[in-house]
Amino acid sequence: MVGLVYRAEFTPQFFTESVPVRGSEDPRLLRKSLLASGLMLVAMIGGAPIPLAAMAAAAFLLITRREKPERVFQEIDWGLLVFFSSLFVVTGAIETSGWGDTLFALLRPWVDAGPAKLTAVCVLLSNLVSNVPAVMLFRPLVPTLADPHAAWLTLAMATTLAGNLTLLGSVANLIVAEIARHRGVRLSFVEYLKAGTPIAVLTLLLGIAWLAL
DSSP codes joined into one string, 71-106: HHHHT--HHHHHHHHHHHHHHHHHHHHTHHHHHHHH
* Residue 9 DSSP SS3: coil
Show Cβ contacts of residue 104 under 8 Å, excluding neighbours closer than 6 positions: 111, 137, 141
- How confident is the model at residue 77, as a pLDDT? 73
Q: Torsion angle of alpha carbons 23, 20, 178, 168, nearest 10°?
A: -130
pLDDT of residue 180: 85
Residue 69 above 70 pLDDT? no
Q: Which residues touch 131 (CB under 8 Å, ≥6 apart)?
A: 159, 160, 162, 163, 169, 170
- pLDDT band at 14; cut points 50, 70, 90: low
181-195 average pLDDT score: 86
Give the separation between CA 45 and CA 59, rounded to whole angstroms. Answer: 19
Is 21's pLDDT higher than 70? no
> In the prediction, which pLDDT does 23 show?
63
Residue 40 has pLDDT above 90, yes or no: yes
Lowest model confidence (mean pLDDT) among 52-56, 158-162, 166-170: 166-170
Q: Which of the pair, 90 or 124, is modelled with greater confidence?
A: 124
